[in-house]
Each structure stands twice: as structure tokens, then as C-alpha cells.
């Protein structure tokens, strides 16, 4: 096989992988702190993308548009926790997951009402041109996707490792009762984790829109892929989520290159589900019953 | 003892009354209500399978649309491309779907409930990709047409009415089967391992109940219910497309099971009836009140209903019936 073809697979794989890893981070944060499987994570991505497009279309420049989208999506995250999850904080995990599904449906319906069916897009950030690289093409938006994921991961590591707020979140993730005993408000931390996940989702939504376009209905497939990435890598660790995301991206890019069109979705997801069922604790996961 | 007997008699009485209502209803209703009742029938069958899975076996599935879709597509393929009789295709589709569900269940059901929810949710997407890429078999995204109708040799000439009786006879037979199942040895085994019914998996296992076997069997059974409904749906509509069998459908039947109540197979009719009825009302009246894209209000309403039901009526509508009717037995 031609070297440039292999390189092209690698580049698409890294690009997709970074998107899935960034999606998975949202699951990781919420699940780690609250043990809620937030099946509305993809809707945050949808909201971030659609809001950015709307503000940008109003004539606001790109960065403030993204910031506004982040703020509104953060509000949606706060609403989800405060009015839907918090009242059911003592319910079973499945009930809580179903509650997030209800929220996702409502958000999707509202988005359909506000924005209609049409797919929307944005120009590449700073109009970055496509780059030719040893016979392979790097799309102009790809460096932004990879860069923002990298930035988010570094940011999360610093936040969890260095700040008191981040350490409090980690304490909730490790041992809720213990965290409560030393005076950490687990409820506030849970609210915070939903807001953080919503903000990360909004950023992902804004960054991928020039590449993949966005519409009211993109949330659910993204939820599935982010969830599988997080499951496969191990939802309880950042490294696991990133590994899972990159693995899904690579499998999807390679099967898309080698298989007749269309089949790659089935094969990529199928492989991931099988890998997951064989290693249900995730490729990297540590302790605990799964 | 008398209470149990009473409850048993009430059960028979209820079933008999239900049969009479089903027979008489089309005589009173016009063509549009009959079409709605046919829809309710499809949903009731799928929901009943899900109620046995969720309410009695204590498992979850966010992927029933996949099994409904498998029933529809396998029947469609067998009748249009291999020219099998629709009834034979329905049975083969149900067997195939049950087998696939058993394999998936075998691999998946040993994991935690939350993981099962995630995996079954992912199945929706896998099925969608599969159907849209197997263009030669399924017609891809544009769908499959010319699926033959089920006929009873001119027994009932009016097409919707014929389907009304078909779907409701099957729903009725499945109700009787389900009621017997949940009151049998299998039903007791399921309750013994279901936390919601006061059992525990560990205790059940210690008492010698093969919980894995029962979980897989019930998962396959719920898939077979969905497959049967899917096959009849394909014959009824005549053309099927992948968008029908998406996650929306999977979640809709979960909503129906929760709204109806998961402590009895009867809950399926309450859940399916109320949600389909509400959807029809929304379709009729919302566009008159506020203009908007079709489907938007349904999505919002489903979301709100699901959240409200889980927060405020977790036992479902059947719990209200339980309070009105004296209960015994289990």
C-alpha cells in the first residue's frame, strides 16, 4: 500500500479519534463524580455547534460566539442537574440515565423548533487552508480539532491535579461519603461536573462544525460514539477515555478506507462493542466492579 | 386464599371483558380511530415484551426498535426476494430475531444494568448503519417497498379493519401467554432475582435459580414480541425505511412501559394507549396553536413525559388501577 494512503488513514484516524476522545471526556467527568451515565452529552455538543452558528450569523465574531454558546450550554447542563437529576439523586443508575434521555429528547425537540431541519456550517477557524503533506491532505480545521482536544486534556489534568476545586471533584469520584465527611459539598460538585461537561461539549460542537456540519439531530449518534469510546477505554480514567476515543477513530478511519462505502459504521461500532464485551472493564480500567 | 381466588377470577373477568371490548370497538369507531387502534396494537405488543424484561426480569433495553426493525426487515426480505408466505416469514423472522437477541444477551447481560443500557442504545446505531449499507437487501436509506399484505382470503374486506383484528388477536394471545408466564415457575424465578420485586440476584442464585439463563431467555422473548409486531407492521404499511426504527422508537416504548407500569403485562395497553393517544392529539392540535416543524412537539412532549413519569409516577398508571381493584396473588 502507498505510504500517502497509510498517512491519510492515520491523519483521519487522529482527527476522528480526537473528536471521540473529547466527547468521551464529558462522560468521564459526569460519571466519575456522580455515577450518572449522561446520555444527553451529545446534545451539549449539538447545542454548542448550533448556538455558535447562530451567533456567528448575527454578525458576532467567532470567539465571542463560541463563548456565548459555552455559557448557554453550561446553563443547560445546570438545568439538567438541578431540576432533573438532583430530585432523583437517590434513584437507581438506570432511572437517572433514562432521565437524561428525557432531557435529550426535549432539547432535540426545542432545537428542531428553533433551527429547523437544515444542516448548518461554519467556515474553518481563521480560514485555515487545507495542507498537503507527503501526498496526504490535512483539512484546515483538523489542527483546531486536535489542538482543542489536546488543550482540554492538559487543562483537565492541571485542573484535577493542581486546583483545590479539581481535587474536591476527584475526592467525590473516589469516595463520596469520605468527601462529604471532610466537608466537600457533593451536591455542588455534582452540579459543577454537569456544567463542566456541558462546556466541554459546547467547545467540541463549535470546533467540529466546520468539519462535519451540525443539525438538531447530531446529538444522539455523538452520544453513542463518545459513550463507546469511554466504555472501551475505561470510563473511570482520563487516559482510558483518550485511548478509547483514538481507538474508535482509527478503526473507523481504516475501515472507511478499506471497505465499500457505508459498511465502516457497522464494522467500527461492531468491533468496539465486541472488544468492550470481551474486556468490560475497559482496556485501561483499574479497580471496581463493572 | 379467598383473596387469591378473587384475584384469579378478576383476572379471567378482565381478560374476557377485554376480548369483548376489542371485538365491539371497531363497530363503534370510524376509520381514523381504527387506524390509531392498530398503531396502539403494535406498540402494545412491543411494550408487553419490554415490561416482562424490565418489570419482571429487572433488566433494561434501550434497543427494542432494533428487534422491531429486524422483524420488519427479515419478513420484508423473505417475502419480496424469496417469495415465502408472509406467515412463514413472520415465524422465521421471530426465530432469527430471538436467536440474535440470545447471542447478544448472553454476552451482555452479565454486565451491570447501566452498561446494558449503553450497549443496547448503541445497537440502534449499529442497526441503522447496517440497514443503510446493505442496499441490495434492504433498499438502503430510501427503504424497501412492495412488501406483500397479509391476507385471510377475503375474510374481512376492509384493509384497516383486517389489520385491526390481526394485530389485536396477536396482542390478546400474547397477553394471555404473558399473564400465564408471570404467574408460572418462570415468573416466580424472575421475581426472586428482581430487586424491584423485593428479590436479589445473589439470593436467587444461592437458591439454585440459574439467573443468567432466565435473563437471556427473557431478553430473547422480549425481542420475539418486538419482531412479531415488526413483521405485521411491515405487511400492514407495505414499505419500510430505516428512519422508522431509530432510537426514538426504542425510547418511546420504554416511555410506554414506564407510563403504563411494569408490574403487570396489562400496563402495556395503558402505556401504549395513552402515549399514542397523546401523540395523535399533539399532531392534530399543536400545529393549530403554534406553527412549527412536525415532530418537534412530539420530541419535547416525550422528553417531558419521560422525566415527569420517572420523577412523579414511577409505578405507572397500572398502580392507580391496583389501588382501585382489590389485589391478591403475588
Q: What stretches of B134-246 show up as alpha helix (H) in DSSP?
A: 135-138, 159-182, 185-193, 201-206, 211-237
Query: Which residues on A lie below 8 Å from B126 (Cβ)?
Result: 265-266, 269-270, 273
pLDDT value at A273 more than 50: yes
Q: What average pLDDT does the segment A261-268 reach?
A: 76
Mark yes or no for CB contact A102/B303 under 8 Å: yes
Which of B126, B132, B251 faces A269 most closely, judged by CB atoms?
B126
Residue A104 touches partner B, C-beta closer than 8 Å = yes
Nearest-by-CA chain A residue for B290:
A113
At residue B30, the pLDDT reads 81
pLDDT value at B156 more than 70: no
Residue A224 touches partner B, C-beta closer than 8 Å = yes
The x, y and z cell numbers of residue B121, run together, are 442504545
Residue A61 touches partner B, C-beta closer than 8 Å = no
pLDDT value at B189 more than 50: yes
> What is the 3 state secondary structure string of A40-109?
CHHHHHHHHHHHHHHHHHCCCCHHHHHHHHHHHHHHHHHHHHHHHHHHHCCCCHHHHHHHHHHHHHHHHH
More confident residue, A138 or B158: A138
At residue B329, the pLDDT reads 44
Domain boundaries, chain B: 2-245
Q: Among all chains, which residue has been given the C-alpha cell 456540519?
A: A213
Whole-prediction pTM: 0.90
Nearest-by-CA chain B residue for A263:
B133
Among B130-139, B263-272, B285-294, the range with the most confident prediction by mean pLDDT is B263-272
Nearest-by-CA chain A residue for B287:
A113
pLDDT digits (tens, 9 = 90+) for A177-199: 888 888 888 899 999 999 999 99
pLDDT value at A222 more than 50: yes
What CA–CA distance (Å, rounded) separates B35 from B27?
13
More confident residue, B78 or B297: B78
Query: Is the CB of residue A34 less than 8 Å from the CB of residue A187?
Result: no
Q: Among all chains, which residue has been given the C-alpha cell 396477536?
A: B170
Round the average pLDDT of chain A to a whole number and report it: 89
More confident residue, B25 or A71: A71
Place B209 in a pLDDT band, splitting at 50, 70 and 90. confident
What CA–CA distance (Å, rounded) separates B181 from B185?
8
Q: What average pLDDT does the segment A233-257 reach?
A: 87
User: Which of A102, A115, A118 is the mutation pick for testing B, counting most B CBs within 10 A?
Assistant: A102
Task: Mention every residue, 6+ apart, whose C-beta is less than 8 A from residue B134.
Answer: B140
What CA–CA distance (Å, rounded) separates A208 from A108?
18
Question: Which residues of B, range 121-140, sit inside 8 Å of A by Cβ?
Answer: 121-122, 124-126, 129-130, 132-133, 135, 140
What CA–CA distance (Å, rounded) separates B313 from B302?
15
Query: Which residues on B lie below 8 Å from A256 (Cβ)?
Result: none
Question: Which residues of B, range 164-223, sit inside 8 Å of A by Cβ?
Answer: none
Q: Which of A187, A199, A196, A203 is nearest to A160 (CA)?
A: A196
- DSSP-based three-state secondary structure for B134: coil
Mark yes or no for CB contact B298/A224 under 8 Å: no
pLDDT digits (tens, 9 = 90+) for B310-322: 999 888 898 888 7
Specify the length of chain B in residues. 330
Which of B115, B292, B298 faces A290 most closely, judged by CB atoms?
B115
At residue B291, the pLDDT reads 65
pLDDT value at B1 more than 50: no
Place A290 in a pLDDT band, splitting at 50, 70 and 90. very low
Which of A95, A116, A270 faces B293 most closely, judged by CB atoms?
A116
Query: Which residues on B lie below 8 Å from A106 (Cβ)?
Result: 299-300, 302-304, 307
Q: Which of B56, B95, B59, B51 is nearest to B74 (CA)?
A: B95
Instruction: Say how many CB pairs under 8 Å bridge A and B.
Output: 133
Mark yes or no for CB contact B117/A228 under 8 Å: no
What CA–CA distance (Å, rounded) separates A213 from A207?
10
Residue A102 touches partner B, C-beta closer than 8 Å = yes
pLDDT digits (tens, 9 = 90+) for A30-62: 998 888 999 999 999 999 999 999 999 999 999
Query: Which residues on A lie below 8 Å from B58 (Cβ)?
Result: none
pLDDT value at A283 more than 80: no
Mark yes or no for CB contact A113/B247 under 8 Å: no
Domain boundaries, chain A: 3-278
pLDDT value at B292 more than 70: no
pLDDT value at A281 more than 80: no
Q: B117: burial class by Cβ within 10 Å (0-12, 13-18, 19+)?
A: buried
pLDDT value at B5 more than 70: no
pLDDT value at A99 more than 90: yes
CA distance readout (Å), A58 to A53, A65, A209, A210, B269: 9, 9, 17, 17, 49
At residue A219, the pLDDT reads 93
Instruction: Specify the fold of A3-278.
Output: ABC transporter involved in vitamin B12 uptake, BtuC (1.10.3470)
Q: What average pLDDT does the segment B140-159 reach?
A: 77
Listed range (A164-173, B212-221, B260-269) with the worst mean pLDDT: A164-173
Nearest-by-CA chain B residue for A270:
B126
At residue B330, the pLDDT reads 44
Place A172 in a pLDDT band, splitting at 50, 70 and 90. confident
Mark yes or no for CB contact A102/B304 under 8 Å: yes
Place B153 in a pLDDT band, splitting at 50, 70 and 90. low
Nearest-by-CA chain B residue for A234:
B115
Place B4 in a pLDDT band, splitting at 50, 70 and 90. very low
Place A254 in a pLDDT band, splitting at 50, 70 and 90. confident
Mark yes or no for CB contact A261/B133 under 8 Å: yes
Residue A178 touches partner B, C-beta closer than 8 Å = no
What CA–CA distance (Å, rounded) separates A46 from A284?
29
Amino acid at each position: 500500500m502507498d505510504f500517502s494512503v497509510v498517512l491519510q488513514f492515520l491523519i483521519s484516524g487522529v482527527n476522528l479519534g480526537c473528536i471521540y476522545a473529547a466527547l468521551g471526556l464529558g462522560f468521564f467527568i459526569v460519571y466519575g463524580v456522580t455515577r450518572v451515565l449522561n446520555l444527553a452529552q451529545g446534545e451539549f455538543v449539538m447545542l454548542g455547534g448550533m448556538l455558535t452558528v447562530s451567533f456567528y450569523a448575527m454578525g458576532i465574531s467567532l470567539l465571542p460566539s463560541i463563548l456565548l454558546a459555552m455559557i448557554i450550554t453550561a446553563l443547560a447542563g445546570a438545568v439538567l442537574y438541578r431540576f432533573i437529576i438532583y430530585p432523583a439523586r437517590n434513584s437507581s443508575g438506570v432511572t437517572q440515565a433514562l432521565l437524561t434521555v428525557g432531557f435529550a429528547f426535549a432539547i432535540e425537540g426545542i432545537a428542531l423548533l428553533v433551527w429547523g431541519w437544515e444542516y448548518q456550517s461554519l467556515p474553518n477557524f481563521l480560514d485555515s487552508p487545507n495542507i498537503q503533506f507527503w501526498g496526504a491532505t490535512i483539512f484546515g480545521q483538523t489542527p483546531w480539532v486536535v489542538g482543542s482536544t489536546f488543550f482540554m486534556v492538559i487543562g483537565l489534568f492541571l485542573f484535577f491535579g493542581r486546583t483545590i476545586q479539581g481535587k474536591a471533584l476527584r475526592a467525590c469520584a473516589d469516595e463520596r461519603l469520605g468527601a462529604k465527611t471532610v466537608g466537600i459539598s457533593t451536591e455542588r460538585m455534582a452540579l459543577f461536573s454537569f456544567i463542566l461537561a456541558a462546556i466541554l461539549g459546547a467547545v467540541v460542537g463549535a470546533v467540529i462544525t466546520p468539519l462535519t456540519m451540525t443539525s438538531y439531530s447530531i446529538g444522539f449518534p455523538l452520544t453513542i460514539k463518545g459513550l463507546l469510546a469511554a466504555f472501551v477505554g475505561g470510563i473511570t480514567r482520563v487516559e482510558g477515555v483518550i485511548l478509547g476515543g483514538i481507538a474508535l477513530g482509527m478503526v473507523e478511519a481504516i475501515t472507511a478506507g478499506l471497505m465499500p462505502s457505508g459498511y465502516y459504521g457497522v464494522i467500527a461500532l461492531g468491533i468496539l462493542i465486541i472488544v468492550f464485551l470481551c474486556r468490560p472493564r475497559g482496556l485501561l480500567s483499574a479497580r471496581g466492579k463493572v | 386464599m379467598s383473596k387469591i381466588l378473587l384475584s384469579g377470577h378478576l383476572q379471567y373477568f378482565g381478560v374476557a371483558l377485554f376480548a369483548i371490548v376489542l371485538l365491539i370497538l371497531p363497530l363503534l369507531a370510524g376509520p381514523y380511530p381504527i387506524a390509531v387502534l392498530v398503531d396502539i396494537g403494535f406498540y402494545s405488543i412491543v411494550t408487553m415484551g419490554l415490561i416482562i424484561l424490565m418489570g419482571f426480569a429487572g433488566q433494561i433495553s434501550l434497543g427494542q426498535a432494533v428487534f422491531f426493525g429486524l422483524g420488519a426487515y427479515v419478513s420484508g426480505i423473505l417475502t419480496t426476494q424469496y417469495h415465502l408466505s408472509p406467515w412463514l416469514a413472520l415465524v422465521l423472522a421471530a426465530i432469527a430475531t430471538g436467536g440474535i437477541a440470545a447471542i447478544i444477551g448472553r454476552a451482555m447481560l452479565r454486565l451491570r444494568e447501566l452498561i446494558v443500557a449503553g450497549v443496547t442504545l448503541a445497537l440502534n446505531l449499529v442497526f441503522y448503519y447496517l440497514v443503510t449499507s446493505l442496499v441490495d437487501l434492504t433498499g438502503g436509506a430510501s427503504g424497501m417497498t412492495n412488501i406483500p399484505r397479509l391476507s385471510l382470503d377475503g375474510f374481512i374486506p376492509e384493509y384497516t379493519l383486517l389489520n385491526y383484528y390481526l394485530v389485536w388477536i396477536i396482542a390478546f394471545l400474547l397477553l394471555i401467554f404473558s399473564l400465564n408466564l408471570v404467574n408460572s415457575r418462570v415468573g416466580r424465578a424472575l421475581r426472586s432475582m428482581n430487586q424491584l420485586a423485593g428479590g436479589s440476584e445473589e439470593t436467587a442464585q444461592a437458591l439454585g435459580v440459574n439467573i443468567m439463563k432466565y435473563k437471556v431467555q427473557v431478553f430473547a422473548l422480549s425481542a420475539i414480541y418486538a419482531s412479531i409486531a415488526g413483521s405485521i407492521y411491515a405487511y400492514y404499511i407495505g414499505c419500510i425505511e430505516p428512519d422508522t426504527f431509530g432510537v426514538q422508537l426504542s425510547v418511546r416504548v420504554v416511555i410506554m412501559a414506564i407510563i403504563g407500569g411494569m408490574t403487570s403485562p396489562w400496563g402495556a395497553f395503558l402505556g401504549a394507549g395513552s402515549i399514542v393517544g397523546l401523540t395523535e392529539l399533539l399532531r392534530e392540535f399543536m400545529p393549530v396553536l403554534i406553527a412549527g416543524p412536525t415532530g418537534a412537539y412530539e420530541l419535547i412532549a416525550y422528553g417531558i413525559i419521560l422525566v415527569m413519569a420517572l420523577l412523579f409516577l414511577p409505578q405507572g398508571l397500572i398502580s392507580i388501577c391496583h389501588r382501585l381493584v382489590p389485589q391478591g396473588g403475588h
